Structure 1
Amino acid sequence: MSQDTWFITGINSGFGRALTEQLLAAGHRVAGTVRKEGSVDDLTGRYGDRLWVARLDLTDRARIRTVVDRAFADLGRIDVVANNAGYGLFGAAEELTDDQIDHILATNLTGSIHVARAALPHLRAQGRGRIIQLSTYGGQATHPGASLYHAGKWGIEGFMESLAKEVAPFGIEVTIVEPGGARTEFRYDSLRTAAPMPAYDDSPAAMTRAAGDRSRPSLGDPAKMAARIIESTTRTPAPLRLVLGSDSHRFITTALRDRLADIEPQARTAASTDWTG
């Protein structure tokens, strides 16, 4: 088995932790980032120098480039760059504060963009590489009460889909991962919610207020999902999108069908605005 090296953001929990554990157990190397020092000491104690760790907050743009550059310098080659770190923010758009909006977009959208941009010069120099972007079915479908979470995910999917076309000539491939609900800490420990406004108590947006209810576990198995993500890096060409979970597949296909049903009948009116001079 060939030894690959991965760079993964947010390895202390969730998919980042599951990916790191499986990769290290299989003999690969991982360069991982955490927000809190010491949060993966159990893994460094078990795997030694096969796990490289740095502290990183994705809202710190300058440090992103420093950490990525140092990882490539220290490890010599990185085969897969996985943008995993992020969090959820739920609440009606009117309920959210300006700071909440700025922070989630800086983390889930522009943070991931800057990680990818920092890695590109190194991947181009190698002549190959794979970028994995953790998204969600919420990058294709929407729910009320999650407008800013969707904004970040739809934004990063558009960026990555365009990037895939830009970097293909350099041997760099991109996969956007779209998991459904998974039994990770996402819904319980990292989820943030807006202060509720009474005006929205009986609105569709109020459904997200129960998102952290532990009596309603998610459908997906994060270990199985991590295994599918790792397996996808052995495929050539890379899948542009990797849908994980029957709920994800259902939400995405329904959203795409609804979108087509709305757009396809507009062919004649769309053409009516073409220049005819």
Structure 2
Amino acid sequence: MNKKWFITGASSGIGRSLTEQLLKAGHTVFATLRRPEQLKELSEQYPERCYADYLELTDPESIQRAVANACDKFGQIDVAVSNAGIGVFGAAEELDIPVIRKQLEVNLLGSIILIKTLIPFLRKQPHGGHIIQVSSEGGQITYPGFSLYHASKWGIEGFVEATAQDVASFNIRFTIAEPGPTGTNFGKSLTIAEPMEAYEKTPVNGIRKFIESGFGELEDVDQVAMQIIQCTESVNPPLRLPIGSVAKKNLTSGLQKRLRDIEMI
């Protein structure tokens, strides 16, 4: 069945892979990004099924305009993927206020506004719709130096879990995708705070060196995208979708620890 997809952050990584795989499979994609010309090749290859539009998560008007354009173009949205985001690394003390604001404005506030904008359109559709929020294993567990990134991911996961209950009666379904470290440009695009000498012998510096080494073993981005697509084919898609053995192992360990903490009270 051909579905109409709306995707943010389609220029690279998971968003780009989703777009390419969906088009090859015969679906129609309204792909959004800050530089729509980056999808010129795909738009020319699939002129009737690939549409690229501008969207900037820090600009609510551009979010509203892109969603409205997709609905006008397609007449419906079957699956929407909130994928665009950024990453910031550094101990809390090392982070500048503008960097803090940007991280939360993009990953948390921007994603919230996108979902809020999508809901009225999906609510009016007889079949509802499916919203995929791309998070990460970092939406449930934490690493030193990623406090701000985790704040954005834990925050959006809480928002999605509550909102899913708000709109379930309208047949609007949600899935939070939680891949482990994936072979995207995340590491290269990270905003890394200037290190303070005080943190040289702390776990923060250990993670800093891990980042410099390339994050170790990474999930294949195409496999991650494929599992997200497969999830949308389920009649009852899961609220949370851990992707990859690393994510499943780390999420299980993290949840078990939280349970042990509860049992100790």
Q: Shorter-chain TM-score: what band?
A: over 0.9
**1:79–1:211: structure 2 CA closer, same or farther, 3 Å change rule?**
farther
Question: How far has the Cα of 1:109 moved from its partner?
Answer: 0.5
Q: Which 10-residue stretch deviates more, 100-109 or 215-224?
A: 215-224
Q: What amino acid is the match of 2:176?
A: I
Are 2:135 and 1:135 aligned?
yes
| Structure number with larger C-alpha Rg | 1
**1:210–1:35: structure 2 CA closer, same or farther, 3 Å change rule?**
farther
Q: Which 10-residue stretch deviates more, 121-130 or 218-227?
A: 218-227
What RMSD over aligned residues (CA atoms) do the two structures have, in Å? Answer: 1.2
- Gapped runs of 5+ residues in structure 1? 267-277
Question: How far has the Cα of 1:236 moved from its partner?
Answer: 1.6
Q: Determine the structure 2 residue equivalent to 1:221.
A: 220
Q: Determine the structure 1 residue equivalent to 2:96.
A: 97
Q: What amino acid is the match of 2:51?
A: W
Q: Determine the structure 1 residue equivalent to 2:255.
A: 256
Q: Determine the structure 2 residue equivalent to 1:144.
A: 144
Q: Determine the structure 1 residue equivalent to 2:62.
A: 63
Which secondary structure state, in structure 1, belongs to the residue aligned with residue 236 of structure 2? coil
State the alpha-carbon separation in 2 of the partners of residues 211 and 83 from structure 1.
28
Q: What amino acid is the match of 1:77?
A: Q
Q: Which 10-residue stretch deviates more, 33-42 or 251-260?
A: 33-42
- Gapped runs of 5+ residues in structure 2? none
Q: Determine the structure 2 residue equivalent to 1:202.
A: 201
* Conserved 8 A contact 2:90-2:145: yes
Are 2:16 and 1:22 aligned?
no
TM-score, normalization by structure 2: 0.96
Q: Determine the structure 2 residue equivalent to 1:269.
A: none
Q: Deviations over 1:159-215 (max 9, x none)?
A: 001111111100110000000011111112x21111111111111111332354355
Q: What amino acid is the match of 1:165?
A: Q
Q: Determine the structure 2 residue equivalent to 1:179.
A: 179
TM-score, normalization by structure 1: 0.92
Q: Which 10-residue stretch deviates more, 115-124 or 216-225?
A: 216-225
Q: Deviations over 1:139-178 (max 9, x none)?
A: 0000110000000000000000111111110011000000
Question: How far has the Cα of 1:219 moved from its partner?
Answer: 2.5
Report the identity percentage.
Answer: 46
Q: Determine the structure 2 residue equivalent to 1:153.
A: 153
State the alpha-carbon separation in 1 of the partners of residues 215 and 101 from structure 2.
30
* Conserved 8 A contact 1:191-1:212: no
State the alpha-carbon separation in 2 of the partners of residues 8 and 113 from structure 1.
15
State the alpha-carbon separation in 1 of the partners of residues 183 and 212 from structure 2.
12
Q: What amino acid is the match of 2:153?
A: K
* Conserved 8 A contact 1:219-1:245: no
* Conserved 8 A contact 2:142-2:150: yes
Q: What amino acid is the match of 2:232?
A: T
**1:47–1:211: structure 2 CA closer, same or farther, 3 Å change rule?**
farther
State the alpha-carbon separation in 1 of the partners of residues 243 and 204 from structure 2.
25
Question: How far has the Cα of 1:17 moved from its partner?
Answer: 0.3
Are 2:256 and 1:265 aligned?
no
State the alpha-carbon separation in 1 of the partners of residues 175 and 46 from structure 2.
27
* Conserved 8 A contact 2:174-2:239: yes
* Conserved 8 A contact 1:91-1:208: no
Q: Determine the structure 2 residue equivalent to 1:76.
A: 75
**1:120–1:185: structure 2 CA closer, same or farther, 3 Å change rule?**
same
